[in-house]
Amino acid sequence: MSLTAGIVGLPNVGKSTLFNAITKKHILAANYPFATIEPNVGVVMVPDYRLDFLNELYKPKSLVPTTFEFTDIAGLVKGASNGEGLGNKFLSHIRKVDAICEVVRCFDDDNIIHVENNIDPIRDIDIIGIELILADLDIVDTRLGKIEKKAKMSKDKEALKEVTLLHKLKECLENNKAVRSLELDEDELMIMKPYNLLTAKPIIYVANLSEDELTNTDNKYLKQVEEYAFNEGSKVISVCAKIEEELCELDEEDKKELLSDLGVDSSGLDKLIRATYSLLGLKTFFTSGTDEVRAWTFKDGMKAPDCAGIIHTDFKRGFIRAEVMSYKDLEEYKDEKIVKEKGKVRLEGKEYLMQDGDICYFRFNV
């Protein structure tokens, strides 16, 4: 799957430091605005404890986790929709991603400049939110100007339906609300898809905390972000970008020791990757054997032939059926033969909706 999440935020909120950690790359993370001018793309492995079990059970020659893309986008500033800072260039980069991870600074540090001169996470969220709203409003107004008069004159049903939707979107945006806050039906979503509206994209807020505040649930800035996210139905993931950057340089044993010393069970980055994966409706199925154990990403709602096609187009073209067992059953019985003896292996046809954790063998003929 080629879906990607964009990491956005105001300058100097820890965005590029987080990206350094998330991809184990070392792009420029300087203490001044616009250190990142072109978007940087990095591929990360999706943490999945199930692979450890499958690896131990099959002892394959090759173990391949599923992956996910993050794009680091240079810091937005107030007025970006009117060309301020690096302006519309940044907005166009955000338009290319499928989900938004917005990094919000939730710590005080006089040594790190804030573009607005003080720490106020809700103001920072609003600055970016308004810029995205203004960019979307421009698209909606432009489209309305092109088709509204023609639709009313021709009385074309599809065109009139689009005009109605555009007015609904316009009203939402003019009230400073994100399009994702609207309840739209399938037809409306299909009509809206080509607009590629920024505020229609799902979002996660990444609260960047200091090392001292990482386990402090009373952090006043964090509480503000959590309340804001709750009110709009979004998630918050707490991280300390600086610690995450240190963690990515350690081996697994030292990493576990540092996490234990910090009093946390897993890294913020692992939580962020999993949360973003889920936000986009992505799930995982497995193919397993002594040659290879591999995790594959699929979109929730995909049928067996489409998932087979992720492996190879011939698998979809010549799909006959899928031999499927669930990871939970294999974990319980710890032996593929016993799973079969217990009647837990199923033969599924073309209409089968794949489930997260399915372990599959696809039968096909071309």
Specify the pLDDT at position 44.
Answer: 85
Mean pLDDT score, 24-30: 52
Q: What average pLDDT is seen over the chain?
A: 88
Specify the pLDDT at position 85.
Answer: 47
Q: Give residue 84's identity as a one-letter amino acid code.
A: E
With bands split at pLDDT 50, 70 and 90, how would you rate the model's confidence at 326?
Answer: very high
With bands split at pLDDT 50, 70 and 90, how would you rate the model's confidence at 330?
Answer: very high
- CA separation for the pair 118, 63 (Å, rounded): 47
**pLDDT tens-digit series, residues 145-168:** 999 988 888 888 899 999 999 999
Mean pLDDT check: name the lowest of 6-10, 279-283, 337-341. 6-10
- Greater confidence (109 vs 29) lies with 109
- CA separation for the pair 270, 22 (Å, rounded): 9
Specify the pLDDT at position 350.
Answer: 96
Q: What is the DSSP letter of 210?
A: -
CA angle 263, 269, 275 (to 5 degrees): 110
- CA separation for the pair 353, 165 (Å, rounded): 31
For residues 43-80, one letter each, b for 16 or more C-beta atoms within 10 angstroms of the residue's C-beta and e for the rest, the string is: ebebebebbeebeeebebeeeeebebbbbbbbbbbbeb
- Asked if 114 and 99 count as a contact pair (C-beta separation under 8 A), the reply is no
- CA separation for the pair 336, 193 (Å, rounded): 43
CB atoms within 10 A of CB 366: 10
Specify the residue for token string 């990491």: 7
Q: What percent of the chain has pLDDT over 70?
A: 90
- Asked if 125 and 228 count as a contact pair (C-beta separation under 8 A), the reply is yes
Specify the residue for token string 């999993």: 274
Q: How far is CA 78 from the centre of its chain?
A: 24
Contacts of 345 (CB under 8 A, 6+ apart): 323, 324, 325, 339
Specify the residue for token string 């080629």: 2
- CA separation for the pair 173, 160 (Å, rounded): 20
Closest CA to 303 of 288, 289, 315: 315
- CA separation for the pair 227, 267 (Å, rounded): 23
Specify the pLDDT at position 49.
Answer: 92
Contacts of 340 (CB under 8 A, 6+ apart): 325
With bands split at pLDDT 50, 70 and 90, how would you rate the model's confidence at 362?
Answer: very high
Specify the pLDDT at position 88.
Answer: 55
Residue 84 has pLDDT above 60, yes or no: no
- CA separation for the pair 202, 196 (Å, rounded): 12
Element housing 7 (H / E): strand 4-8
Show the tokens assigned to 42: 């990095």
**pLDDT tens-digit series, residues 179-224:** 999 999 999 999 999 999 999 999 999 999 998 888 777 889 999 9
DSSP string, 10-63: STTSSHHHHHHHHHT------SSTTS--S-EEEEEEPP-HHHHHHHHHH--SEE
